[in-house]
Amino acid sequence: MSSTRPLRVAVVGAGPAGIYAADILSKTDLDVSIDLFERLPAPFGLVRYGVAPDHPRIKQIIVALHKVLDRGDIRLLANVDYGVDLKLDDLRQFYDAVIFSTGSIRDASLDIPGIDLPESYGAADFVSWYDGHPDVPRTWPLEAREIAVLGAGNVALDVARMLAKHPQDLLPTEIPANVHEGLLASPVTDVHVFARRGPAQVKFSPLELRELGHVPDVDVVVHPEDFDFDEGSMAAIHSSNQVKQVVKTLTDWTLKEPEEMTASRRIHLHFLHRPVEVLGEDGHVVGVRTERTALNGDGTASGTGEYHDWPVQAVYRAVGYFGSPLVDIPFDDVAGVIPNRAGRVVDVDGDPVPGVYATGWIKRGPVGLIGHTKSDATETVRHLVEDVLSGDAGDGPVLRTATDPDPEAVTEFLASRGVPLVEWSQWQVLDAYERALGEAEGRERVKVVPRDEMTAIARGEQPGA
């Protein structure tokens, strides 16, 4: 295959990881033509569907991502479901290389008794509901007065805050109408967040934690008896300004007097409590059992054999996200990632799969912030470029293997399969529509939630047509 034509690259997944990879690749010395595939009718991934609506600062990341796609040199092909609308063999027909950036959207499992009871939920599912994700039901059961959230990261804080916050305080945000109505009916008074280690080991960001203390008519309750700092904790506090700020905020809350606690709702932060069982009665959640833990000196914690039962009627596990397997692509079921070496996808024998790469959480697991995602994409793209150059020079497998590299070929293929594509200009139509809905209510946007409605608006069709 001649190297005179542009290299054709497909990026599957239009969240931050995919957009950064496409952007970085577009700025290399390669003559490259990039298509960015997205399963949903809207781009931006977890920044649109995984960030709480009352965190507009974080959503500003979308502004930077928008600028990348607005340049016009990266083509967005949204509303295309990899594994359903097209598979790896199809992509190989149209592209020389494929980068998978499909992220991690499932809840990681927590293997304790009772976790499968009806009122036990995954945080990722709840986040998808309150963010108006088109693939989840429009309703959510909010009937518990007392709720447990299991986990010690920002998602646990988001879930606790969204459960405890008074719904009228969410109205200025882009919260969907069905979510606001659902939260209005919630009788919640107390949300308990359980962390198995100490205050110096939690993964809360300082800003997110401080925001918790400013939620109107919601008190944050922290118990002094849950505080312990071992040698590992002190080392973490001294070496990390972030840990120091988190510990200071938590310590300040332990000093609050009971008479200061006058709010109608409370968020309790419990440390050194390891959830060991969700308690059920007649098939429903009635409580959660935790084991008191003790720090071991190095920041890890072990059980003490002392147990506490907490009356709750619902449990949310926020113990991390987990990747999903992809058709025709190797998958590590334990780690929840595509097996790879520095972004090069490898098969069961550990050999690189020619022309197939991974980046973002599906590459490294659901850890790290946006900065990590950029450096991650840089590493993957660097190796893709190396492989292309070595193939062109005859020093390795040739990557320019697409048999039908014309950019129109893939869109004709999808049209022949009846796939209602949403390209960038069409997403902009939907984006403007949502912003207009928001402007009418004095808000930045109101999300359109049903998938067929999103697609129809973007494509200028009647919903249901």
Distance, in Å, from the CA atom of 157 to the CA atom of 220, rounded to the nearest integer, reads: 11
- Per the DSSP assignment, residues forming a β-bridge with 265 are 218
Report pLDDT digits (tens) over 296-355. Answer: 999 999 999 999 999 999 999 999 999 999 999 999 999 999 999 999 999 999 999 999
Specify the pLDDT at position 59: 74
CATH 3.50.50.60 range(s) for the chain read 109-319
Residue 120 main-chain phi, psi, to 5 deg: -105, 120
Specify the pLDDT at position 253: 96
Helix (H, G, I), strand (E, B) or coil at 212: helix
**Cα 460 to the center of its chain, rounded Å:** 30
What's the topology of domain 109-319?
FAD/NAD(P)-binding domain (3.50.50)
Cα first-last separation, the chain: 43
Distance, in Å, from the CA atom of 429 to the CA atom of 104, rounded to the nearest integer, reads: 28
| H helices present in 173-240, as ranges | 177-184, 206-212, 231-239
Distance, in Å, from the CA atom of 113 to the CA atom of 440, rounded to the nearest integer, reads: 48
Specify the pLDDT at position 60: 81
What's the topology of domain 7-105+322-421?
Rossmann fold (3.40.50)
CATH 3.40.50.720 range(s) for the chain read 7-105+322-421
Specify the pLDDT at position 117: 98
Specify the pLDDT at position 2: 45
Specify the pLDDT at position 1: 42
Distance, in Å, from the CA atom of 208 to the CA atom of 203, rounded to the nearest integer, reads: 10
CA distance readout (Å), 267 to 193, 206, 223, 334 = 7, 17, 12, 33
109 secondary structure, DSSP code: P
Q: Which residues of the chain have pLDDT under 50?
A: 1-2
Distance, in Å, from the CA atom of 235 to the CA atom of 226, rounded to the nearest integer, reads: 19
The token duo for 284 is 């429903």
DSSP states of 122-159: EHHHHHHHHTT-TTS-S------SEEEEE-SBHHHHHH
Specify the pLDDT at position 385: 97
Helices vs strands, H then E, count in the chain? 16, 18
Residue 149 burial (10 A CB sphere; 0-12, 13-18, 19+): buried
> Is the CB of residue 115 less than 8 Å from the CB of residue 317?
yes
Specify the pLDDT at position 463: 65
Angle between helices 231-239 and 241-254 (to 10 degrees): 120
**pTM of full prediction above 0.85:** yes
CA distance readout (Å), 166 to 35, 139, 184, 212 = 42, 18, 8, 13
> Is the CB of residue 341 less than 8 Å from the CB of residue 134?
no
Report pLDDT digits (tens) over 119-158. Answer: 999 999 999 999 999 999 999 999 999 999 999 999 999 9
What does DSSP say about strands 314-317 and 120-122: parallel, antiparallel, or unpaired?
parallel
- pLDDT mean across residues, the chain: 95
Distance, in Å, from the CA atom of 251 to the CA atom of 404, rounded to the nearest integer, reads: 62
Distance, in Å, from the CA atom of 357 to the CA atom of 380, rounded to the nearest integer, reads: 7
